[in-house]
Amino acid sequence: MLLPSAVAVGIYLFGTHHTPRYSNGLFGEHGSAAVELKAQLSTALLGFAIIQLGLALWMYGRVPGTRSSPRPVRRGHRALGFLSLLFSLPISYHCLTTYGIETMSPRATIHSFAGCALYGAFVAKLIVVRSRRLPGWLLPAVGALLVLGVALLWYTAALWALNGDSAPGFSSV
């Protein structure tokens, strides 16, 4: 538990001690165009997470009417997980270096802390997937936390941006 916590705390400390640079770009886009691009990339990432969830349910025999998953499903799950991590890095890097950790609103606070926790959860999943000593229920639990983390980050930022700076449950102030 120390390494995942250290990753999350390290990201938090960087974000709180880093001076935000609001002029940072993302793949050549700046300002509202960068926010729009990040929202679109995050929406694709949410799609990857949902596919990951479906593949995991199939691997664990939780999809009604299907046989046990063939080997390509496991390989696909692993490959998509790696692709998802790579896909998330420019999004999170832009968030962290452009805005840092923000706590001026409930939405920004939730988003900031969920972003830190997401990478801690990813490290935890890598540890759990490689360990033979940890309980079997821990892998699907950590995987579910990753999917929920991506969904929460999408809800508090991408939906917010794509919906004209509003999302159900958060005021536009």
pLDDT tens per residue, range 27-77: 999 999 999 999 999 999 999 999 999 999 999 989 898 888 999 999 999
Quote the pTM value.
0.92
What is the per-residue pLDDT for 172? 62
Helix (H, G, I), strand (E, B) or coil at 168: coil
The answer to whether residue 21 is domain-embedded is yes
User: How far is the C-alpha of 11 from the C-alpha of 35, rounded, in Å?
Assistant: 21
pLDDT one-digit tens code per residue, 5-35: 999 999 999 999 999 999 999 999 999 999 9
The answer to whether residue 68 is domain-embedded is yes
Residue 157, burial from CB neighbour count under 10 angstroms (0-12, 13-18, 19+)? buried
Residue 129, burial from CB neighbour count under 10 angstroms (0-12, 13-18, 19+)? middle
Helix (H, G, I), strand (E, B) or coil at 18: coil
Lowest mean pLDDT among 5-19, 116-130, 137-151, 159-173: 159-173
Q: Which domain holds residue 42?
A: 2-162
What is the per-residue pLDDT for 167? 85
What is the per-residue pLDDT for 173? 52
Number of domains the chain is built from: 1
The answer to whether residue 168 is domain-embedded is no
The answer to whether residue 84 is domain-embedded is yes
The answer to whether residue 135 is domain-embedded is yes
The answer to whether residue 37 is domain-embedded is yes
| DSSP per-residue letters across 58-72 | HHTT-STT--SPPHH
The answer to whether residue 169 is domain-embedded is no
The answer to whether residue 9 is domain-embedded is yes
User: How far is the C-alpha of 102 from the C-alpha of 166, rounded, in Å?
Assistant: 17
30 vs 173, residue with greater confidence: 30
